Amino acid sequence: MFRRAMSSAVKLNPRNFPRPPLCEKTPRHLEVKWNGQLIADTRDAYWVLETHHPPTYYLPPASLKVPLRTTSNSSFCEWKGRAQYYSIEDPSKPGGMVKNRIWSYETPTEGFKPIKGYLSFYAGPWDCYVDGEKVEAQPGDFYGGWMTSDIERSTVKGGPGTWGW
């Protein structure tokens, strides 16, 4: 449904995204780069669209070019279930790790089974790209959506004063 809108010149308005969220394949090319090093690259991803959120992208584990380690951190989403978090070595600090900026759902709820084991990245400290466009992080530090130029920003939740929209 939303893939058709994405291919036109029309901006995507997160106010009109579904609730409960929609999980579907996206044909977009996704890349994650860190200090010029490619750490993930795919055209075989899913996006999750939820009211007042920019898309959250889920990349297949095979797209990852560097190893991850699980952390003890987890969170719970009312729609997707329990998330598992990961750490990754910081290429700018030998032996340094960045923790809990990548997550997956290993036992997602029924409507989100397609993203089982797929990885989602917060937009930072690395650079994330959608079809070659560098994304901005969804406002705030709680949600993991990726903001691109085709997203209507005035309807996005996450910044100060938007809790509870």
Tokens 């997203």: give the residue: 151
User: Looking at 4-161, which runs of residues are DSSP E strands?
Assistant: 22-26, 30-34, 37-42, 45-49, 56-58, 69-77, 81-89, 97-104, 120-121, 127-130, 133-134, 136-137, 146-147
| Domain range summary for the chain, segments of one domain joined by + | 2-155
| Cα(125)–Cα(18) distance, integer angstroms | 29
According to the model, what pLDDT value does residue 9 have? 60
- Could you tell me which residues come within 8 angstroms of residue 16 by beta carbon, excluding any fewer than 6 positions away? 51
Task: Compute the average pLDDT of residues 37-45.
Answer: 96
Mind listing the pLDDT tens digit for each residue in 54-73?
A: 999 999 999 999 999 999 99
Residue 165 has pLDDT above 60, yes or no: no
Task: Compute the average pLDDT of residues 100-128.
Answer: 97
Looking at the chain, the whole-number percentage of residues with pLDDT higher than 70 is 92
Residue 121 has pLDDT above 50, yes or no: yes
What is the CATH T-level fold of the domain 2-155, as seen in this structure? 2.170.150
Confidence band, pLDDT 50/70/90 cuts, at residue 42? very high
Task: Compute the average pLDDT of residues 152-158.
Answer: 89
Q: Evaluate if pTM is beyond 0.85.
A: yes
Report whether 43 contacts 59 (CB < 8 A): no
As a whole number, the mean pLDDT across the chain is 91
Which of helix, strand or coil describes residue 14? helix
According to the model, what pLDDT value does residue 4 have? 45
Question: Is the bond preceding residue 114 a cis peptide, omega within 30 degrees?
Answer: no
Residue 110 DSSP label: G
Confidence band, pLDDT 50/70/90 cuts, at residue 38? very high
